[in-house]
Amino acid sequence: MSKPWILLTPSTRGISHSLLHHLLRCTTSSIPILATTRSPNLPPTYPESDRLHVVNLDVKDESSIKSAADQAKQLFPKDTHHLRLALTLPGVLLTPPEKSISQMEEKNVLETLRVNTLGPAMLMKHFSAFLPKKAASIDAVEGLPDHATWLSVSARVGSTTDNRLGGWYSYRLSKSALNSAIKTLDLELAQKSAGKAIAVGYHPGTVKTDLSREFWEGVPDDKLFSPDDAAAKLWNVVTNLDTKQRGKVWDWKGEEVPP
């Protein structure tokens, strides 16, 4: 029987840091976690655990992603292990977001796409192969779905049909492209893994992190989440998805974000 493991990238700030603590509390002690960081200096609140493996990974450097995946191969050989849950959360929002297309600057667009789109796609390239294949024997895991899940954090602004206000060109482009990558990965998984692995996107809402700091004002209290609240909401959604919900983007309420 193939043994499960979990990937969390990144893991040192905001939602991802809260998720790391949440994973250690809410998953069985037999499941190892591979967490990534860009900096060798971990925050003082970073947890210590025998099942926690920390590796360096810079989402803007494919060689760094490949190196982290190579370390994963050593820790979790594919013939004995499978990636049961991948939570990928890299993201950047360069401010102020463009209100008009005349405000677009090439360097800002490229940086946004590099972090929000290309980085997550490279994570898919190097880590999705750890997800279980059709023939894999995977056991039930307490607290997790019976299938493996690849989750990429996206945003509602990546929806074309839900675009009612315009603006935010760079960020919208990056998240729309990411949503396309998520759907395309899921179609590939449907062929290679059938019902044993799915890919989804996730919209966490507005969270009190550095990324959204300039936009907290005016957000109702019941829709402005702490990182811990956001982590708990993400966990509730991802652990309740079934294979019929694959390839789509879901929000913190568990409702579909339209394409």
What domains can you pick out in the chain, each with its CATH number? Answer: 3-257 (3.40.50.720)
Specify the pTM: 0.96
Tokens 């790391």 map to which residue?
A: 20
pLDDT tens, residue by residue, 28-39: 999 999 999 998
Q: What percentage of the chain exceeds 70 in pLDDT? A: 100
Is the four-CA dihedral 259, 147, 46, 74 of positive or negative sign?
negative
Residue 247 has pLDDT above 90, yes or no: yes
Return left, alpha or beta for 166; rule: phi > 0 is left, psi -120 to 50 is alpha, else beta: left
Residue 40 has pLDDT above 90, yes or no: no
pLDDT at 230: 97
pLDDT tens, residue by residue, 188-232: 999 999 999 999 999 999 998 878 777 777 778 788 899 999 999
The C-alpha angle with vertex 90 and arms to 103 and 25, in degrees rounded to 5, equals 145
pLDDT tens, residue by residue, 118-146: 999 999 999 999 999 999 999 999 999 99
Q: How far is CA 128 from CA 49, 152, 170, 198, 210, in A?
A: 25, 12, 26, 10, 29
Question: Residue 33 in contact with residue 8, Cβ under 8 Å?
Answer: yes
Q: What percentage of the chain exceeds 90 in pLDDT? A: 92
Cα–Cα distance measured from residue 90 to residue 253, given in angstroms and rounded to the nearest whole number: 21
Q: What integer is the mean pLDDT of 19-43?
A: 95
Q: What is the DSSP string of 193-218?
A: TGGGEEEEEEE--EESSGGGGGG-TT
The single-letter code of the amino acid at 109 is V
- Identify each DSSP E strand in 48-99 by its residue range: 52-56, 81-88
pLDDT at 213: 79
Question: Residue 147 in contact with residue 204, Cβ under 8 Å?
Answer: no
